[in-house]
Amino acid sequence: MNLASLFGLELILTSLFIMVIFSTTRRDALRGFEAWAIGGFLFVAHLVGAQLGDASVNPARSLGPALIEAMSKDAGALAIVWLFIVGPIFGGLIGWQLFKLIHTD
């Protein structure tokens, strides 16, 4: 994938992930299924994202392996690691704002 598409994938998956987390942990949400909803979404996001461009939805999950790879081989992974840090940060902010827009209580 090109960098713009990869950035968009990170943005969308993280936005949806944050919305799932916030929606399932609301006070009026159905209790007992939070872990299934959050874990299930993360599972599907990685199933889809790994095939399309190694979506991480987690900056720490991307930074750690990039640093290890840079120490062992070359700094190629560090050249695009910014995308896996900036994408989820902005995606999280977008997901939070969408949640606030949908749930206006």
CATH code for the domain of 61: 1.20.1080.10
pLDDT given at position 54: 73
Cβ neighbour number for residue 11 with a 10 Å cutoff: 20
What is the value of pTM for the model shown? 0.85
Overall number of domains in the chain:
1
Tokens of 48: 């889809």
Which are the contacts of 10, defined by CB distance < 8 A and separation ≥ 6?
55, 56, 57, 83, 84, 87, 88, 91
pLDDT given at position 14: 93
Containing structural domain, residue 18 = 3-102
pLDDT in tens, 11-48: 999 999 999 999 999 988 888 899 999 999 999 998 98
Q: Is the pLDDT of residue 55 over 70?
A: yes
